[in-house]
Structure 1
Amino acid sequence: MPYTLLVWDAWYAYQSGDLKRMQQCLQESLKVTPISRTECVVNWLESFGKLSEEKGQPFDTYTLTNSQEWKQLMQGRFTISHA
Structure 2
Amino acid sequence: MKKVEIYTKFTCGFCHRAKSLLSGKGVTFDEYDITMGGPKREEMLERSGGGSTVPQIFIGGEHIGGSDDLAALERAGKLDAMLAD
Would you call these one fold, judging by a TM-score over 0.5?
no
Select the structure with the greater relative contact order (CA < 8 A; seq sep ≥ 6): 2
**Bigger helix fraction:** 1
